[in-house]
Structure 1
Amino acid sequence: MPANPAPVDLNNADDLTAEFFVRARMHALYQIMNSPVRPWPHKHLMIENVFPDDFYAELRRCMPEQGAYTPLAKTGKVAKGDYEMRAGFLLNEDHLSRVPARVARFWTGLFEEVLNAEFAEVLMGRHAADVQDRLDREGAVLTEPPRRDMILVRDGTSDGVKIHTSDPKNLLTLLFYLPEDERYVECGTTLYWPKHRDMRCWGGPHHDFEGFDPVWTMPYRPNSLFMFVKTDDSFHGVKPIQIDNLRRDLLLYYIHR
C-alpha cells in the first residue's frame, strides 16, 4: 500500500460503487471472524489488514481536513471525560457538508455498506454468549435490536485518556486505527488491570492511571482494528503522549443497545 496514494478528484465519487464497499465488508468480516479472541485481561481482538489495500488507500485519501471536525465534547457523543484534545467528524448533514462529494460518499458508504446491519449481526452472533453473560450480570435485558454508531476521531499530543470500560450502552466496541504509516506505533490503546484486582465498573467514570497496572498497548498501525466486548472489567485508556506534530486518526464504531 503506498504511503501517499496518487491524488484523485475529490468531487467525483462515480467509481465508489456498491461492489467496492461489499468487497471491503467481506474482507473485514473474514479478517475479524477468523481471528482468535484474546481472553485476558478481558476479551478482545487485535486485527491487522482489516480492509483491502486499495480500500485503505481510498480511506486515507478521504480523511477529512481538520476544519471539518468539531471538538468531541461539543458533538454530544461523549459524556464527561478527558476528551478536550479530541475532535470528531459525524455522519450528519452539518459535517458532511464540510467535505467534498467523494469524501462524503466514502464515509457514508463505509457506514451504510461496509459496517452495516449485516456486519453488526455477524459480530453479535459470534459474541452472543459474551453479550448475554454481561447483560445477565448487569441485570439488564435487550428490549430492541442493537443499534450501530460511528464517529471519526482525531487527536494528538495530550495527557492521555484515563482508564474506563466504555460507555454503559455499548455491547461491542471497535477502534479502527487509521494512520498513514507506523511512525507512532507505540501510540495505541492500552489495556489495564486494576491494582485492586476485584475492581469492576459498568462504565461512565474515568479512573486515574495510578490505580491500574498497564498490561499491553495495541500497536497503532495502519489498517488495524482493536475490538473488545464491553464488560465491567474492559478497562482501557490512552497513555499520555508528548510528541510534536502527532496526529492520531481513529474510527470508533459501536454496537449498542
Structure 2
Amino acid sequence: MKQNYSIAPQSRIDVKDRFVEQVHSASLRAKPMPHAVMSPVFPAATYAHLTSALPKTDLYREARGAARFRRQCAQLTGQQAERGDIFFTSQNANSKGLDPVWGELATWMQSREIRDLLIERFIPSALHPFDRNSYRTDLRLVRETGSVFIAPHLDQPRKLLVIIIYFGSDLPSSAGTSLLEPTGQGRTFREQGKVGFTPNTAFILPRTDTAWHGVNPQTLRENRDTLHLYIQRSDN
C-alpha cells in the first residue's frame, strides 16, 4: 500500500513523489565540475515543518573531524566554531527528542528506490559500470555555528554522491558552497562557481577527482543547518 507523508491535514501531499519529480527535473551540469542544483527540494508545507522540527542543539553529537574543523576555523577567523551531527538509522530516526517527520523522511530517502534513481540521474556515465548494490545511503543532519570555514577538499573515495540540502532563511547566500579549482601554486584555489545558501535547495555533487569544494570563512549569526545524503560503499 502506498504511504503518504503529510504535513498538514488540509494538504495530502506525497512528499516522496514530489521529490522524485524534482530529481527527474534536475540536470547535471558539466562545468566547472559535474554537479546539479535542485530547488525546491520539498513542498513548501513540508519544508516549513522540517525547519520548525530541527532538533535542539543538545541532541547533536560532536561530528567526526570536529576538532580539525574548530582548529581550521580558529586559525583563519580567530574565533570559535562548532560542528555537530545526527546520523539517521532505523533505530534512532524515531527516537525520543526527534520529531516523527524525520523518521518518515529517513525511511524513504534511504530506500533502494531513491538510491537507484539518484545514481541513474547524477552519476556521470564515465563512472559506470559498478555494482550499485554495494552502495548504501546514509543521511545526517549537520549543524555548524560560529565563525565557519570549510577548507577546500575532495570527498573521500568511498563516496559516490553527496547531496547537501540547505535549511534556514536568515543566512547569507555566501554561506553556500564554493566550487573550486587548484591554482597549481601550492595549496591555493580559485573559485570557479558557487551554489548559494538558498532555503529548500539541494547541492548535488558526484565524487570525482576534480570536485574540489568548500565554504568561505564567515561569522554566522544563526545556525548553519544542512541535511546531507551520502551514497557510499557499504564496506566502510
Paired position in structure 2 for 1:57? 48
Q: Is the 8 A contact 2:161 2:207 kept in 1?
A: yes
Instruction: After TM superposition, list the pairs within 5 Å mapping 1:16-165 onto structure 2.
Output: 18-20=3-5, 23-73=14-64, 81-82=68-69, 85-92=82-89, 93=91, 97-100=95-98, 103=99, 105-128=100-123, 130=124, 133-134=126-127, 142=131, 144-165=133-154
Aligned equivalents of 2:50, 2:148: Cα separation in 1: 28
Instruction: Give 1:50's aligned amino acid.
Output: V
Aligned equivalents of 1:135, 1:18: Cα separation in 2: 33
Shift of 1:159: 4.6
Cα 1:79–1:71, aligned 2, differ >3 Å: closer, same or farther?
closer
Q: 1:228 aligns with which of 198, 205, 213?
A: 205
Aligned equivalents of 1:79, 1:117: Cα separation in 2: 30
Aligned equivalents of 2:128, 2:212: Cα separation in 1: 17
Aligned equivalents of 2:66, 2:146: Cα separation in 1: 21
Shift of 1:250: 0.2
- What is the TM-score normalised by the length of structure 1? 0.74
Shift of 1:40: 1.0
Gaps of 5+ in 2: 7-12, 71-80
Instruction: Give 2:104's aligned amino acid.
Output: G
The superposition leaves residues 15-63 of structure 1 with CA deviations (integer Å, 9 ceiling, x where unpaired) of xx93016821221121122122211121101121111111111111210
3-state DSSP of counterpart to 1:217: strand
Q: 1:192 aligns with which of 154, 170, 180?
A: 180
Instruction: Give 1:82's aligned amino acid.
Output: F
Taking only aligned residues, the RMSD between alpha carbons, in angstroms, comes to: 2.7
Paired residue total: 215
3-state DSSP of counterpart to 1:33: helix
Paired position in structure 2 for 1:246? 222
Instruction: Give 1:185's aligned amino acid.
Output: S
Cα 1:171–1:225, aligned 2, differ >3 Å: closer, same or farther?
same
- What is the TM-score normalised by the length of structure 2? 0.80
Shift of 1:134: 3.5
Paired position in structure 1 for 2:74? none
Instruction: Give 1:220's aligned amino acid.
Output: F
Paired position in structure 1 for 2:10? none
Cα 1:114–1:189, aligned 2, differ >3 Å: closer, same or farther?
same
Aligned equivalents of 2:4, 2:20: Cα separation in 1: 15
